């Protein structure tokens, strides 16, 4: 029992990290809110489903295509909605949340729920670790999640674009004086975040059916991870994912599954009350929160 | 060479020094000042008598959404952006349900009690996060109703998915109509009046710059808690009212509709004036009733109108109308 919880807790944590990476890239690393994140996640899932089942495109091509299209959509969201609202944080939130809501509720209206709305797994089969069966898809998730987290760290610390992302969050005007085109960088950041959301969707959604409500859960979980980890820190995202992931798994197995969803909220409340800047947060501590 | 023109705006002559001091010299000018506030009130008081039954119901939900929108607008003008008005609404609704179902209180007790207790309960819930600003506060309020809905669904607490049924109804539909219309007008005029007093000025200042209010030696958290209580009371009243109108309270009380539609109303109507939020509700809710045939697509339309208005007409309909009403406009040639 404990072993199963530990192993699945690990996988759950990686899933959380995977979900949060894209959101953290946009929201905490470059300081642009994209509350349509959960919707983009679900949208990418349905996109792959449409490509594979209705247009009979091979899965690998469909996956790549949907990542690119979602990223393009993110760029469009920035160009046509966010660009006009930069700096008005509340308007950014409401406008992007409105877009996300429209996407999610549109899929709810279409009524695409049920067992046929699943994505194919990458490879079928399972392995034994100790006494626990783990299917290949979860191993894929762990592999991809780890490499993406490492990749994101390297990207934001050692590439020009990545450094520019962090720069515009720290001080947009100073970034401007150093020749960073802040509008373009913020747009790229939203696009990258959307692309990561699509990647996460393709990896994670094959575990079950595609459900509209998961879009809200994804947003809430991603937010929780970013708040707990602290703004602008990749290590914080990983640490927070593991804390939340294990906390969720332990509540799941000892208190029952319906308490699982409450864990992120309680975590948000606790962290905001005790340490408002998050575990690893450095920037914008005072300005944003208190 | 074409001459360039620009639009010139001039205030009307009766306006002296500020927006609310007038020099009135004739009945015509008195009418000009009085009509914008008297006409809607008169129309709202007559409407319940002449509307067919179906549209009476629409008027009820419109007024409810108008109150929710004003409460949202009020919280925003104190610097608290809530994405979860459904929290207040649902808490009020369930409180009225519990008071009726378990304690068998009469209806004229359940509604006031649920109003005050609901406001208090929500304030207590949100006090730990009052220190948060902007998006962080918004996120917490977004999550809370979703979470409560899940807890009720999972644990079967308070009737679970079934909800509480068989609650006491109002004596007649006119009681419902006039109660909610009166409540709406009361909230509208009371909040407008309150925001122009010194107290309201301090509240607005918290939104503008909370640091400087703090440095003025004012405890902003206490004031924010008071604002939350007032805003919460208004929404809880709506929840309690709707519980008795439907004679039922259940998980739909925490539905996303009650969070999104008020925000959409306030944004479409124009924020900060409260009359704008009301106007927005009176545009959106009847519109959505007319669009009832398309079902779930309605939420999509609200959401999109929210985005479109916030991007394209951020001032809202009300400010636009107000400007047209209070100012002359004419084209003049640009001097070179």
Q: How high is the pLDDT of residue A121?
A: 74
Give residue B17's pLDDT band: very low, low, confident or very high (50, 70, 90). Answer: low
CA distance B245 to A86: 43
Provide the pLDDT for residue A209: 78
Q: Do B135 and A33 touch (CB under 8 A)?
A: yes
Q: How far is B134 from chain A (nearest CA, A)?
A: 6
List, in sequence order, every residue forming a beta bridge with A128; answer none if it has no partner.
A133
Total tally of structural domains belonging to chain A: 1
pLDDT reported for residue B184:
92
ipTM over 0.90: no
Q: What percent of chain A has pLDDT over 90?
A: 6
CA distance, residue B291 to nearest chain A CA (Å): 14
A289–B contact, CB cutoff 8 A? yes
Reply yes or no on whether the pLDDT at B19 is more than 90: no
- Is A116:A54 a contact under the CB 8 Å cutoff? no
Q: What is the mean pLDDT of residues A156-176?
A: 84
φ and ψ at residue A133, rounded to 5 degrees: -80, 130
Best residue of B300, B308, B312, B314 to probe chain A, by most A CBs closer than 10 Å: B300
Residue A130 lies in a domain: no
Determine which of B144, B263, B292, B311 to mutate to test the interface with A (most A C-beta atoms within 10 Å): B311
State the fold for domain B5-333.
ABC transporter involved in vitamin B12 uptake, BtuC (1.10.3470)
The first and second tokens of residue A171, run together, are: 């001080």
Candidates A96, A100, A102, partner chain B, best to mutate (most B CBs within 10 A): A102
Looking at residue A208, which CATH number applies to its domain?
Answer: 1.10.3470
- Using an 8 Å CB-CB cutoff, list chain B residues near A261: 147, 150
Higher pLDDT, A113 or A248: A248
Q: For residue A282, is pLDDT > 50?
A: yes
Chain B CB contacts of A81 under 8 Å are: 307, 311
Instruction: Kindly tell me the number of DSSP H helices and DSSP E strands found in chain B.
Output: 13, 4
Q: Between chain A and chain B, how many beta carbons pairs sit less than 8 Å apart? A: 119
In a domain, A247, yes or no: yes
Facing B155 at nearest CB: one of A89, A105, A258: A258
Q: Which residues contact A285 (CB under 8 A, 6 or more apart)?
A: A276, A277
Residue A264 in contact with partner chain B when CB distance is under 8 A: yes
Burial grade of B163 (CB within 10 A; 0-12, 13-18, 19 or more): buried
CA distance B249 to chain A (A): 22
Closest residue to A105, CB basis, from B131, B267, B299: B299
Query: What tokens appear for B92 in the block?
Result: 């009020």
Answer whether A227 sits within 8 Å of B303, measured CB to CB: no
Nearest residue of A to residue B81, measured between CA atoms: A90
Q: Taking the CA atoms of chain A, what radius of gyration do you get in angstroms?
A: 19
Looking at beta carbons, which residues of chain B come within 8 Å of A90?
A: 76, 81, 134-135, 138
pLDDT of residue A145: 86
Chain B residues with CB under 8 Å of A216 CB are 146
B303 neighbourhood in chain A, CB within 8 Å? 98-102, 105
**Tokens (6 digits) for B248:** 């039922």
With an 8 Å Cβ cutoff, the interface of chain B facing chain A consists of 76, 81, 83, 128-129, 131-136, 138-140, 142-144, 146-147, 150-151, 153-155, 256, 260, 263-264, 267, 295-297, 299-300, 302-304, 306-307, 310-311, 314
The mean pLDDT value for B144-163 works out to 78
pLDDT (average), residues A232-251:
83
Whether residues A95 and B307 touch (CB distance < 8 A) is answered with: yes
Give the three-class secondary structure for B249: strand
**pLDDT tens digit sequence for A19-39:** 888 888 887 767 777 888 889
Is A90's CB within 8 Å of B296's CB? no
Q: B-chain residues within 8 Å CB-CB of A106?
A: 297, 300
Domain range for A224 is: 2-124+137-289
3-state secondary structure of B330: strand
Q: Give contacts of A80 with chain B, Cβ < 8 Å.
A: 311
Lowest mean pLDDT among A50-64, A222-236, B185-199, B275-289: A222-236
Q: Which chain A positions have a beta carbon within 8 Å of B146's beta carbon? A: 216, 220
Arithmetic mean of pLDDT, B164-175: 83
DSSP A39-65: HHHHHHHHHHHIIIIIS---HHHHHHH
Q: What is the model's pLDDT at position A176? A: 87
Q: At what angle do helices A234-254 and A213-229 cross, to 10 degrees?
A: 120
Which of B301 and B231 is assigned the larger pLDDT?
A: B231
Confidence at residue A284, expressed as pLDDT on a 0 to 100 scale: 52
Q: How do residues B215-246 score in pLDDT, each as one tens digit?
A: 989 998 899 999 999 999 999 999 999 988 88
| 3-class secondary-structure state, position B62 | helix
| Contact list, B306 vs chain A (CB under 8 Å) | 94-95, 98, 101
Write down the pLDDT at residue B304. Answer: 84
Whether B71 has a pLDDT exceeding 90, the answer reads yes
């Amino acid at each position: 029992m404990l072993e199963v919880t530990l192993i699945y807790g690990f996988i759950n944590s990686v899933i959380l990290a995977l979900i949060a990476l894209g959101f953290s890239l946009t929201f905490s690393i470059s300081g642009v809110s994209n509350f349509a994140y959960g919707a983009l996640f679900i949208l990418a899932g349905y996109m792959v489903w449409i490509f594979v089942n209705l247009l009979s495109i091979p899965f690998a091509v469909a996956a790549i295509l949907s990542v690119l299209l979602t990223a393009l959509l993110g760029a469009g969201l920035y160009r046509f909605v966010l660009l006009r609202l930069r700096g008005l944080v509340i308007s950014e939130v409401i406008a992007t949340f409105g877009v996300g809501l429209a996407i999610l509720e549109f899929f709810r209206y279409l009524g695409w729920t049920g067992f046929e709305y699943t994505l194919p797994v990458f490879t079928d089969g399972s392995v034994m670790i100790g006494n626990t069966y783990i299917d290949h898809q979860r191993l894929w998730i762990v592999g991809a999640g780890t490499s993406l987290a490492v990749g994101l760290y390297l990207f934001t610390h050692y590439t020009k674009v990545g450094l520019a992302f962090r720069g515009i969050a720290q001080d947009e005007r100073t970034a401007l004086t150093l020749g960073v085109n802040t509008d373009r960088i913020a747009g790229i950041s939203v696009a990258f975040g959307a692309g990561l959301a699509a990647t996460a969707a393709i990896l994670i959604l094959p575990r079950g059916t595609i459900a509209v409500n998961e879009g809200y859960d994804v947003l809430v979980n991603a937010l929780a991870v970013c708040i707990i980890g602290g703004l602008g820190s990749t290590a914080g995202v990983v640490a927070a994912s593991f804390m939340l992931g294990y906390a969720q798994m332990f509540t799941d197995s000892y208190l029952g599954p319906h308490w699982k969803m409450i864990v992120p909220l309680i975590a948000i409340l606790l962290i905001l009350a005790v340490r408002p800047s998050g575990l690893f947060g450095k920037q914008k501590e005072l300005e944003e929160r208190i | 060479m074409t001459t360039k023109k620009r639009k010139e705006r001039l205030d009307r002559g009766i306006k002296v020094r500020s927006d609310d001091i007038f020099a009135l010299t004739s009945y015509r000018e008195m009418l000009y000042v009085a009509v914008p506030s008297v006409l809607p009130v008169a129309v709202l008081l007559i409407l319940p008598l002449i509307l067919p039954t179906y549209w009476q119901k629409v008027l009820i939900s419109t007024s409810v959404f108008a109150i929710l929108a004003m409460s949202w607008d009020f919280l925003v003008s104190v610097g608290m952006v809530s994405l979860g008005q459904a929290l207040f609404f649902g808490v009020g609704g369930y409180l009225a349900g519990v008071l009726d179902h378990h304690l068998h209180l009469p209806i004229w007790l359940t509604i006031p009690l649920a109003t005050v207790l609901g406001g208090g309960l929500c304030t207590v819930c949100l006090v730990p996060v009052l220190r948060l600003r902007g998006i962080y506060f918004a996120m917490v309020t977004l999550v809370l109703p979703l979470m409560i809905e899940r807890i009720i669904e999972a644990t079967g607490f308070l009737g679970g998915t079934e909800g509480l049924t068989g609650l006491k109804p109002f004596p007649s539909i006119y009681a419902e109509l006039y109660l909610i219309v009166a409540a709406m007008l009361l909230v509208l005029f009371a909040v407008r009046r309150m925001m122009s007093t010194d107290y309201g000025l301090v509240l607005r200042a918290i939104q503008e710059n909370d640091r400087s209010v703090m440095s003025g030696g004012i405890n902003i958290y206490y004031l924010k808690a008071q604002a939350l209580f007032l805003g919460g009371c208004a929404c809880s009243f709506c929840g309690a009212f709707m519980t008795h109108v439907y004679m039922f309270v259940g998980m739909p009380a925490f539905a996303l509709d009650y969070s999104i539609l008020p925000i959409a109303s306030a944004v479409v109507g124009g924020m900060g004036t409260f009359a704008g939020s009301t106007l927005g509700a009176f545009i959106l809710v009847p519109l959505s009733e007319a669009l009832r045939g398309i079902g779930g697509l309605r939420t999509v339309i609200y959401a999109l109108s929210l985005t479109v208005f916030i991007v394209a007409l951020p001032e809202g309909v009300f400010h636009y109308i107000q400007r047209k009403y209070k100012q002359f406009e004419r084209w003049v040639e640009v001097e070179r």
